[in-house]
Amino acid sequence: MNEKHDLNDVKMNDDLALSILEQVPTPIMAVDLNLKLIFMNQAGCRLLGKKQDVLKGQHCYDLFKSQHCQTPECQMQKVMEGGESCTSRNEVTINGRTVPIEYTAATLKDKDGNIVGGLEYILDITQRVKREQKLREQSRTIMEISTPAINLWDKIFILPIVGVVDSHRAQQMMDTVLKKIAETLSKVIIIDIQGVAAVDTAVANHLIKIAKAARLMGCQCILSGISSAVAQTIVQLGINLDMVITNSTLHDALNDAFSLLNLEVNKKAE
């Protein structure tokens, strides 16, 4: 009697587990050691547009045709070879449509703990990818606005810098400067750092790299906006700015730029 009840309980538990898997709104599949499908829930069947009895026995890489399929990046293959469960981003191609996904693979084991296949659930991250792309575009726009290259005179432009200079922003500044030199054939660039809160070794090194790159393109760099506090910091840190012309004000920097180009500004006679 008890044995019959135990068998019924097992069947009820199995039915409940299967029902739960079928109701999960994201694709879940299981494969054997040869990557042949042994289970696909209803969400997965809807994604592929096929019934489960048609899908069973087919290789998962033939169904999804993702970037990781049949490559060392396949997480399902990795976990079945004894690795831990892992999550990765990927792209699958279904009916000619490419879908960005995030999938998690884990081992499928029998009651004795032997690996008999793999289990995988898939998340469609199309909306997340779109939001991330929008954020990147917004960030790029903000960076471009925060680092404008302004034509100050013929063959002279200025790059006013405000805020913090990190490695990412420094690279964006480098790109802006070199692009501007190529477009305008400028011979002098004035980098004004009056709005930079603090200048340390990292910031100074970024500025020196920009100056060196500009010089390689035939453009001389002038650094303006150096306050007394910044000057003391540079001296204390032992930063060598000999290759860059420096000034405390933009007015003096512009005068130096005119001198480099052999230009002279005269007052108009009244």
CATH number at 158 reads 3.30.750.24
Q: In terms of domains, do 119 and 192 share one?
A: no
Inside any domain, residue 36: yes
Inside any domain, residue 96: yes
Inside any domain, residue 137: no
- Per-residue pLDDT tens over the stretch 31-49: 999 999 999 898 888 888 8
Residues 6+ apart with CB under 8 A from 77: 35, 118
Q: What is the pLDDT of residue 1?
A: 47
Q: Is 190 exposed, middle or buried (0-12, 13-18, 19+ CB in 10 A)?
A: buried
Q: What is the pLDDT of residue 269?
A: 59
Last residue of a domain, one of 69, 95, 127: 127
3-state secondary structure the chain: CHHHHHHHHHHHHHHHHHHHHHHCCCCEEEEECCCEEEEECHHHHHHHCCCHHHHCCCEHHHHHCCCCCCCCCCHHHHHHCCCCCEEEEEEEEECCEEEEEEEEEEEEECCCCCEEEEEEEEEECHHHHHHHHHHHHHHHHHHHHHCCCEEEECCEEEEEEEECCCHHHHHHHHHHHHHHHHHHCCCEEEEEEEEECCCCHHHHHHHHHHHHHHHHCCCEEEEECCCHHHHHHHHHHCCCCCCCEECCCHHHHHHHHHHHCCCCCCCCCC
pLDDT band at 211 (very low <50, low <70, confident <90, very high): very high
Inside any domain, residue 92: yes
Q: What is the pLDDT of residue 141?
A: 65
**Angle ∠(170,223,231) on CA atoms, nearest 5:** 100
Q: In terms of domains, do 157 and 120 share one?
A: no
Last residue of a domain, one of 127, 155, 181: 127
Q: In terms of domains, do 44 and 121 share one?
A: yes
Inter-residue contact 183 to 151 (CB < 8 Å) = no
Work out whether the CA dihedral 54, 55, 58, 63 comes out positive or negative.
Answer: positive
- Per-residue pLDDT tens over the stretch 101-157: 999 999 988 888 888 899 998 888 989 989 988 887 776 666 656 678 888 889 999
Q: In terms of domains, do 157 and 245 share one?
A: yes
Residue found by looking up tokens 């011979």 in the block:
187
Q: In terms of domains, do 67 and 178 share one?
A: no
CATH number at 89 reads 3.30.450.20
Inside any domain, residue 69: yes
CA 90 to chain centre: 15
Inside any domain, residue 244: yes
Inside any domain, residue 268: no
CA distances from 19 to 14, 45, 46, 49 (A): 9, 15, 16, 20
What token pair was written down for 174? 């480098």
Inter-residue contact 207 to 244 (CB < 8 Å) = yes
Q: Which amino acid is at 136?
A: R
pLDDT band at 7 (very low <50, low <70, confident <90, very high): very low
Q: In terms of domains, do 117 and 148 share one?
A: no
- Residue 253 CB coordination number (10 Å): 24
Last residue of a domain, one of 127, 154, 177: 127
Q: In terms of domains, do 113 and 192 share one?
A: no
Q: In terms of domains, do 122 and 196 share one?
A: no
Total domains present in the chain: 2
Sheet holding 245-246, edge to edge: 150-153, 156-163, 188-196, 220-224, 245-246
Q: In terms of domains, do 76 and 26 share one?
A: yes
- Does the structure show a pLDDT above 50 at 193? yes
Q: In terms of domains, do 161 and 247 share one?
A: yes
Inside any domain, residue 133: no
Range of the domain at 230: 144-260
* Verdict on whether the full-model pTM lies above 0.75: no
Q: In terms of domains, do 123 and 148 share one?
A: no
Q: In terms of domains, do 55 and 88 share one?
A: yes
